[in-house]
Chains A and B, each alone.
Chain A
């Protein structure tokens, strides 16, 4: 055997393997960078696309089901959308100016959307309600309130599949099959709650996210019992906000604050508008009414309590009607 030829062949093999390995490493690295970049782009594109779709849809009131084309985990935090788990390297978040009431996470390939304008007493902003079939909402009413509650629920688009029953007929066991494939169940009691989160957990299992909301319609207040044993006292201003409470559960308070902030901005605009209009009006009765309106609006802009909000809202509404009857320029 030719020893020189052996060495040359061995050298060629070693050289080939090293060169091949270097080329392969380069290709893997290239593929890795490319996939990472595409995922980042895809994640951001998805968020921009959802935000833009909601922007376009939110021009008017209505409801629809958005087909997301692929399965996504959409997070809805206070004034922020995100995609994927927070611990994942493909996690992306994007701030939004919209007032969105939704469960904190929505997993699936479609998104149920409902938009409704919030008036208090003037139009403040469009509310966005988001959900998907993985998050179930069950409404349980006292028998004497079933008509009122039924009318309230009737306005929720049917594809949201919100179910209504009376307290007497409510049996957690009969919802076990629906609970099985779900991520979250929100049970909303209009009146006092007859079950605790732990009662429902023993029925449906500990893995399911369960929240109970106890609504007091007389007082416009509610108690939220979250999945981790926390209890929160909240209030709502109008039916639109109550829908928001039902859809968002424990994430309600923060979104409500964004809405109140928006109300404050609108009120500041109306104060300024009324002030300027009073300066342009020559009729004394109109000037007086506009000055009165400004005083009411100024009080409204500094209000923090629920009762004051309701009381001033009614007074501003009356004042606006009075201005209209007097033939003066109205507040809104």
Chain B
């Protein structure tokens, strides 16, 4: 019992880097603008939400005057830009959250799951000092000669955010798991058949469209979709399955974006994956010789794309290979596995590099009979 209490207390004392959350903050700025755009368009044309059918969530909820609503949207949009830039970050993040939340709660007709998801993430951001890095605030501090604030902060709000995001996947997946119409494929199949007309103008051949609207296909596809969602919700928690869960999430949201109209959901959900990055920076070292074209390209990729600050770049000693990746536990990888190891930690190259690394690692293990030093030994062969 005392162990549980101690672990519970430790949760609120744990510190970590805010860097990945800062990346999320930067992404959520433009996403919020995209989300607010249709409301702003109406407001600019003098149309307020209460000029059309609207319905409060509860009779006791105060009605926001339409004119105040339109001012709030404008303030929210400006604030979202400032939040992304990191100007007065805590204040602008809070204002952005308030604007989005108030709009969401103004009327039942404004409710969408993707808007709620965005609101949850903005709420999480308000609890964290996400402007300490990658922000005008940090630059301004440096410019004035003030000591830089540490990027390490108490991260219980990040844990809270992880729980909330995980619950989103689990709630969605579980509701479909226990619904025979969903798990049996009826809902998904019927939706595809209903929107078949959107497939007709695509370059898909006739047999392809017939296949996509073939009922038995969904006896397989629907359970896979449901189990994928549940796997994402659970798999994100374990270090062993996290990369696979993130990769599945990227694919999952891409497929949703292609097959349904979900407003900003795909953007928000993919951006939210940043919260699952281990909250530490520069804890991996890439020793790469930049005299070779490959080395230069990789060093450039790390400099440009290492948004989460995972790597320290170093020049190798003359007797070292052209590339060595030193992981946070000290494990050294060289050659192709090291290249893939680096690329899996860069958000833009992750979706392609992750399956390649998985295949490479599996091949290496099978060739060495599953030995633990497969990574280094096989990489050494290459």
Q: Do A and B come from one complex?
A: no
